[in-house]
Structure 1
Amino acid sequence: MLNCFQQAPHGMLPETTHDEASRQEFAKSLKGFIQAQLLPGLEPVYQKRVAKNFERENGRAPENRHDIRKAMVRDPYFQLYASINRIAQELLWESTNVSIERQLPELIEKARAYSAASSAELDIPGGFEPPRYVSALDIHCMPGGYCAEVTTDDVAAGVLYDRGVYLYTMGYTGPNNDDMGRSVCNYLKRNMPDFKPRRILDMGCTVGHSTLPYREYFPEAEIWGIDVGAPVVRYAHARAEAMGKPVNFAQMNAEETRFEDGYFDLVVSHILLHETSGKAMPRIFNECERLLAPGGLMIHADLPPFDLMDPFTQFILDNETWYNNEPFWGAMRDMDQIELAEKAGFPREQVRFDTAPMAVMEFNAQSAGYDAASTGEVADRDFTAGEFAPGGGWEVLIAHKPQRKHEAA
């Protein structure tokens, strides 16, 4: 897919000087070079050199991603790949932070003004403590993480995430960084056209990238985005207003929200689960079941499980665990999410994995002269989800809460 998307401007993005913009574009291009030129070289190095050395030393072939990692970390080509990848990650945050630090007071004032004029709610309670699996480290190596605040009404983490995600994904999440939410909305419209949720909750929304498509697709619904980081929630609220799509945002933990039982018809998340923990994930599933009204849907768009991947692919994707401050990245993919959903109260026959085709790919298909949704030329492809959906789709876990018996009758 030709990547021609630039990030769409809006009122809460900082302006960049020529040099700042050039550094950021270099950081994005470096990520692209690593993915296109260095990453493909890892498998032949493994097959022709590393695997043979491992078998000679251990008397057996590598059996899993852990064996492969032990062998690969000693190889100079992998060391080059891993070090440049880490440098590129740190560079994209550094190049963005320069613009933010220069304009932070102005951005804070703009956020206050947008939020004051908004018709949507912003709920940031005093005394809230984010869980340590988020606050104890800088996830994605993002300086300060999602929760750090250095001044009153700080929004720096939100601004950094908004711009940084665009660079990190090399533009493949679309001009508004909203491809995951838009893809799930497209999936719902295509596969469940009669589903009209009255209330929608986006868990772990950060700056609302994936939240806003639901405002567009379900304009009559009451929509909430929640996250444990006050700066990102504050920014999300102002960003939504700046884009003309007001949404309610609140600082809450997805493990235990402040909403009443059965309040929502649709509970979603987008790349939330792999940033939680082994103890938190079951609690989040339990909370989803509690929050859903009968007939409601739980949809988690995240990373595909490891069980259908070969060990080398697992090893490649698990590099995020080791080199990008994503400690739960690999462990989450080993967990039986269908079993977790069943234990939370969803009938097993109502839980499944599926793939939501990338909205940007469907957009490209339509631009090429056909309607992907109506022709099925994209929708019916055999998508294989992966890191930033290189196969063309996002992995989604879908669970349906049954109607009460008298309602179903």
Structure 2
Amino acid sequence: MTAMLNTFQQGAHPVLALPDHDEAGRQEFAKSLKGFIQGRLLPGLGPVYGARAAKRFEREAGRAPADRHDIRKAMVVDPYFQHYAATNRIAQELIWDSVIDTVERRLPEIEAAAKALSGKNKAPLETRADFPTPRYVTALDIHCMPGGYAESEGPDDIAAGVLYDRGVYLYAMGYMGPTNDDMGRSVCNYIKRNMPGFAPTAILDMGCTVGHSTLPFKEAFPDAEVTGIDVAGPQLRYAHARAAGLGLDVGFMQRDASDTGFPDASFDLIVSHILLHETSGKAMPAIFRECYRLLKPGGVMIHADLPPFNLMDPFTQFILDNETWYNNEPFWGAMRELDQVKLAMDAGFPKETIRFDTAPMAIMEFSSSESYKAESTEALAEREFAAGEYAPGGGWEVLIAQKGAE
């Protein structure tokens, strides 16, 4: 795994905050530290739990740990877990800190480039200074990103998007590919394989941030009108310029996924990529209802994320739920306890069309192809499920539902 971390470097584009020599060294250290934690410290949690934490809990409680909450109670007092959790949090903060200097140094030139590029994108850009950003986005710095996703200092500000683009690449340790778009590519591949003949002409990506996962849909369906929406204006302004810099006309609009304002039956395909756990218990059912309203008859909804808790063993639940406790992801665990199939049914989707499935990671398929030869191919292909938002193992869990034909 260690070798794999450095195989992929982020693909350059005209508005990327490229680091200088010293900045790149600090960023590589932050990325590698995160890899060390997942590759070396994380595997030790299982033996620690089995050898002493679970036994201590059973002695004190008079019973074995029953669920992830009990496992957490057993583990939080253990020095090894405390070391792991503290180091993981520090690594997350270091990632953002290592990028901020680059962003501040290069921001004026990136702003100029973004303005020129955005004018070349033939698809629309829509942001509003008075947009009511949901509190679940503004209440804390999600993923410890300084200022949060939506912080804006003016109608033309793109700084949060610049920071996010480089920072999330490091956060994902390169496993999302050179343009950090593995989720979108994986879902596109899934559609091509499993829905032959499905050719959407209007596609909506909910919670798109800087459009990492949005752009693959324009590549896969070049005749479609592709639109990304998000509540964060700086992300969208940056996304619009980034798309143009990568040669794609994709529209970006500041809209709330729970109440988009688009007309009924506007889209053939609605997707999201790690969106739902960033919302809330109130917003998530509303998003499902909005998807149903916006889809044309026969249209498809696909939400890509990590699996719900009922598809995991309790210890894996505990590991992933650390995102809730230590990475400013308050809805992470709660979202995975919701019955998403029922939410889709309540929104109007026929039960027989709703299912969970796995979309294999596009980057893993690429690494194992005959056309790709690298020393670390085996390390990636054998990668196991690991902690974190961008660490699903071999594939992304997708929730799929289809609106009935009318």
The TM-score, its normalising length taken from structure 2, stands at 0.94
Question: How many residues were matched structurally?
Answer: 395
Corresponding position of 1:46: 49
Q: 2:402 aligns with which of 376, 379, 400?
A: 400
Does the CA-based 8 Å contact 1:385-1:392 persist in structure 2? no
Partner-residue secondary structure (3-state), 2:119: helix
Partner-residue secondary structure (3-state), 1:366: coil
Corresponding position of 2:146: 143
**Structure 1 residue 12 and structure 2 residue 15: aligned?**
yes
Corresponding position of 1:69: 72
Give 5+ residue unaligned stretches, structure 2. Answer: 374-381
Structure 1 residues 93, 172: CA separation in 2 closer, same or farther (over 3 Å shift)? same
- State the distance in 2 between where 1:186 and 1:11 align: 27
Does the CA-based 8 Å contact 2:133-2:232 persist in structure 1? yes
- State the distance in 2 between where 1:251 and 1:223 align: 14
Corresponding position of 1:356: 359
Residue 117 of structure 1 and its aligned partner are, at CA, apart by: 2.2
The superposition leaves residues 327-354 of structure 1 with CA deviations (integer Å, 9 ceiling, x where unpaired) of 0000000000000000000011110000
Structure 1 stretches of at least 4 aligned residues deviating more than 2 Å after TM superposition: 367-370, 383-391
Corresponding position of 1:198: 201
- State the distance in 2 between where 1:126 and 1:89 align: 30
- State the distance in 1 between where 2:41 and 2:299 align: 44
* Structure 1 vs Structure 2 CA RMSD: 1.8
- State the distance in 2 between where 1:264 and 1:390 align: 29
Residue 126 of structure 1 and its aligned partner are, at CA, apart by: 3.8
Corresponding position of 1:186: 189
Structure 1 residues 402, 9: CA separation in 2 closer, same or farther (over 3 Å shift)? same
- State the distance in 2 between where 1:386 and 1:41 align: 13
Does the CA-based 8 Å contact 1:303-1:385 persist in structure 2? no
Structure 1 residues 84, 249: CA separation in 2 closer, same or farther (over 3 Å shift)? same
**Structure 1 residue 251 and structure 2 residue 254: aligned?**
yes
Residue 38 of structure 1 and its aligned partner are, at CA, apart by: 0.2
Q: 1:213 aligns with which of 211, 216, 228?
A: 216
Corresponding position of 2:232: 229
Identify the structure with bigger relative contact order (alpha carbons < 8 Å, sequence gap 6+): 2
- State the distance in 2 between where 1:315 and 1:122 align: 41
**Structure 1 residue 169 and structure 2 residue 181: aligned?**
no
Residue 390 of structure 1 and its aligned partner are, at CA, apart by: 3.8
Does the CA-based 8 Å contact 2:129-2:154 persist in structure 1? no
The superposition leaves residues 115-159 of structure 1 with CA deviations (integer Å, 9 ceiling, x where unpaired) of 122211001134111100011110000011111013441111111
Residue 211 of structure 1 and its aligned partner are, at CA, apart by: 0.2
- State the distance in 1 between where 2:153 and 2:25 align: 27
Structure 1 residues 221, 37: CA separation in 2 closer, same or farther (over 3 Å shift)? same
Residue 303 of structure 1 and its aligned partner are, at CA, apart by: 1.7
**Structure 1 residue 22 and structure 2 residue 13: aligned?**
no
What is the one-letter code of the residue matched to 2:400?
I
- State the distance in 2 between where 1:245 and 1:386 align: 33
What is the one-letter code of the residue matched to 1:393?
G
Corresponding position of 1:377: none
The range that moved more, 146-155 or 92-101, is 146-155
| Percent identical residues | 68
The superposition leaves residues 157-185 of structure 1 with CA deviations (integer Å, 9 ceiling, x where unpaired) of 11111111110110000000000000000
Partner-residue secondary structure (3-state), 1:318: helix
- State the distance in 2 between where 1:57 and 1:76 align: 18
Corresponding position of 1:298: 301
- State the distance in 2 between where 1:55 and 1:343 align: 41
Give 5+ residue unaligned stretches, structure 1. Answer: 371-380, 405-409
What is the one-letter code of the residue matched to 2:13?
H
Does the CA-based 8 Å contact 1:304-1:386 persist in structure 2? no
**Structure 1 residue 154 and structure 2 residue 190: aligned?**
no
Corresponding position of 2:283: 280
Partner-residue secondary structure (3-state), 2:8: coil
The TM-score, its normalising length taken from structure 1, stands at 0.94
Does the CA-based 8 Å contact 1:301-1:396 persist in structure 2? yes
Within-5 A mapping of 1:359-370: 359-367=362-370
